[in-house]
Chains A and B, each alone.
Chain A
Amino acid sequence: MSDVTELETPGGSIGVYTRPKANTGWRDWITTVDHKKIGILYGATAMFFFAIGGLEALLIRLQLATPDGTVLGADTYNRVFTMHGVTMVFLVIMPLAAAFANYLLPLQIGARDVAFPRMNALSFWIFLAGGLFLNMAWIVGDAPDGGWFAYAPNTGMIFSPGKGMDYYAIGLQITGIASLISAMNLIVTVLNMRAPGMTLFKMPVFTWMILVVQFLLLFAVPVITVALFLLLFDRNFGANFFNPEMGADPLLWQHLFWIFGHPEVYILILPSFGIISEVIPTFSRKPLFGYPFMVFSGIAIGFMGWGVWAHHMFVSGIGPISVAAFSVSTMFIAVPTGVKILNWLATMWGGRIRFNTPMLFASGVVSMFTIGGLSGVTHSLAPADTQQTDTYYIVAHFHYVIFGGALLGIFAGFYFWWPKVFGHLLDEKWGKWNFWLMIVGFNMTFGPMHILGLQGMSRRIDSYSPGFGFEFWNMFASIGAFIIAVGVVVFMVNVVISARRARTAPPVGLDPWDARSPEWFSPNPTPAHNFDEDIQINSLDEFWHRKYGEDEDGRVVRVATAEEVCQDGSATDTHLPSPSYWPVVLAAGLPFVGFGLMYTLWFCVPGGALVLMAIYGWIFEPVDDPDGPHGHGGHGDEPTEDPPSEERADDASAETTEEAPVG
Chain B
Amino acid sequence: MSTATESPVESHEAAHEEGHDHPSDRRYIQVAVILAIVTALEVGTYFVHMPGEVLIPMLMAMMIYKFFYVAAWFMHLRFDSPLFTKFFVSGLVLATIVYGITLTVFEFWHKG
Which of A's residues lie within 8 Å of B, judged by CB?
191-193, 219, 223, 249, 251-252, 255, 259, 306-307, 310, 318-319, 322, 623, 636, 638, 648-649, 651-653, 655-659
B24 within 8 A of A: no
- Residues in B lying within 8 Å of A, measured CB to CB: 1-2, 4-9, 83, 91, 94-95, 97-98, 101-102, 104-107
Q: Give the distance in Å from the alpha carbon of A307 to the alpha carbon of B107 in the complex.
A: 18
Contact of B7 among A193, A223, A255 (CB under 8 A): A193
Q: Residue of B at shortest CB range from A638?
A: B9
B105's nearest neighbour on chain A, judged by CB, is: A322
A249, closest chain B residue (CB): B106
The 7 closest A-B pairs by CB, nearest first: A652-B7, A649-B8, A322-B105, A655-B4, A652-B9, A255-B102, A653-B7
Contacts A623-B1, A659-B1 given; indicate if A652 touches B105 (C-beta within 8 A): no
Partner of A255, one of B5, B6, B105, B107: B105
B91 & A318 in contact (Cβ 8 Å cutoff): no
Given contacts A219-B94, A259-B98, A306-B98, A659 and B5 within 8 Å (CB-CB)? yes
> Which residues of A have CB within 8 Å of B9?
638, 648-649, 651-652
Partner of B91, one of A191, A219, A252, A649: A219
Neighbouring B residues of A307 by C-beta, 8 Å: 97, 101
A139 to chain B, nearest CB (A): 38
Q: List 30 A-B contacts (CB under 8 A).
A: A191-B83, A192-B7, A219-B91, A219-B94, A223-B98, A249-B106, A252-B106, A255-B105, A306-B97, A307-B97, A307-B101, A318-B105, A319-B105, A322-B104, A636-B2, A636-B4, A638-B4, A649-B7, A649-B9, A651-B9, A652-B6, A652-B8, A652-B9, A653-B7, A655-B5, A656-B7, A657-B1, A657-B4, A658-B5, A659-B5
A652 & B4 in contact (Cβ 8 Å cutoff)? yes
CA distance A649 to B11 in the complex (A): 11
Chain B residues with CB under 8 A of A636: 2, 4
Please name all residues of chain A whose beta carbon is closer than 8 Å to the beta carbon of B105 when the two chains form the complex.
Answer: 255, 310, 318-319, 322
Give the chain B neighbours of A657 by CB distance below 8 A: 1, 4-5
Q: Which B residues are in CB contact (< 8 Å) with A193? A: 7
A-B contact count (CB 8 A): 52
State A648–B12 Cα separation when bound (angstroms).
14
A604 vs B70: C-alpha distance in the bound complex, in angstroms?
A: 37
- Complexed CA–CA distance, A193 and B105 (Å): 42
Q: Smallest CB-CB separation from B12: which chain A residue?
A: A652
Kindly list 19 other residue pairs between chains A and B, CB separation below 8 angstroms, not including A307-B97, A657-B1, A659-B5. Answer: A191-B83, A192-B7, A219-B91, A219-B94, A252-B106, A255-B105, A259-B102, A306-B97, A318-B105, A319-B105, A322-B104, A322-B105, A623-B1, A638-B9, A648-B8, A649-B7, A652-B4, A652-B8, A659-B1
Q: How far is the CA of A657 from the CA of B107 in the complex (A)?
A: 49
Contacts of B91 in A (CB 8 A): 219
A649 to B8, CA, bound (A): 5
Q: What is the bound-complex CA distance between A652 and B4, given in angstroms?
A: 7
CA distance A310 to B4 in the complex (A): 46
**Interchain CA distance A658-B94 in the complex, whole Å:** 29
**Nearest CB to that of B9 among chain A residues?**
A652
| Residues in A whose Cβ lies below 8 Å from that of B5 | 655, 657-659
Which B residues lie within 8 Å of A259 (CB)?
Answer: 98, 102
Which B residues are CB-close (under 8 A) to A319?
105, 107
**Docked pose: A636 CA to B83 CA in angstroms:** 28
CA A638 to CA B9, docked complex, whole Å: 9
| Bound CA–CA A317/B83 (angstroms) | 41
Taken together as a complex, chains A and B put the C-alpha atoms of A531 and B27 apart, in Å, by 48
Count chain A CB atoms within 10 A of each CB in B4, B95, B97, B104 and give the residue with the most: B4
B1 CB, nearest partner CB in chain A, Å: 6
Chain B residue, CB-CB nearest to A255: B102
Which residues of chain B come closer than 8 Å to A255, judged between CB atoms? 102, 105-106
Query: Of all chain B residues, which has the CB nearest A624?
Result: B4
Q: Which residues of A contact B83 (CB under 8 A)?
A: 191
Q: Which residues of B contact A318 (CB under 8 A)?
A: 105
Whole-angstrom distance from the CB of B51 to the nearest CB of chain A?
28
When distances are taken between beta carbons in the complex, the residues of chain B under 8 Å from A649 are 7-9
With both beta carbons as reference points, the residue of chain B lying nearest to A252 in the complex is identified as B106
Return chain B residues, CB-CB under 8 Å to A223: 98
**When chains A and B are docked, how far (Å) is the Cα of A219 from the Cα of B2?**
31
Q: Is the CB of A306 within 8 A of B94?
A: yes
Cα distance A85–B50 in the bound complex, in angstroms:
53
Q: Inside 8 A of A192's CB, which chain B residues have their CB?
A: 7
Q: Within the assembled complex, what's the spacing in Å between the Cα atoms of A652 and B8?
A: 6
- In the complex formed, the residue of A with least CB distance to B104 is A322
